[in-house]
Amino acid sequence: MGFIKAKLITVERGIKELQDLGYDKEHIDIYIEATPTQKD
């Protein structure tokens, strides 16, 4: 999730990566919520 925080990948790409690794929606939502991002 550091790549999202550093804005190297989009949130959507991060979600796709987690799905590809086998994470379920509940855990993905928790990771995304816990990852600080700035929406400019």
> How many domains is the chain built from?
1
Predicted TM-score (pTM) of this structure: 0.78
11: in domain: yes
Residue 31 in contact with residue 1, Cβ under 8 Å? yes
Determine the average pLDDT of the residues in 29-39.
83
Q: For 6-27, what is each residue's pLDDT tens digit?
A: 999 999 999 999 999 999 999 9
In this structure, which amino acid lies at residue 38? Answer: Q
Pick the more confident residue, 30 or 1.
Answer: 30
pLDDT at 40: 46
39: in domain: no
Domain enclosing residue 6, as ranges:
2-34
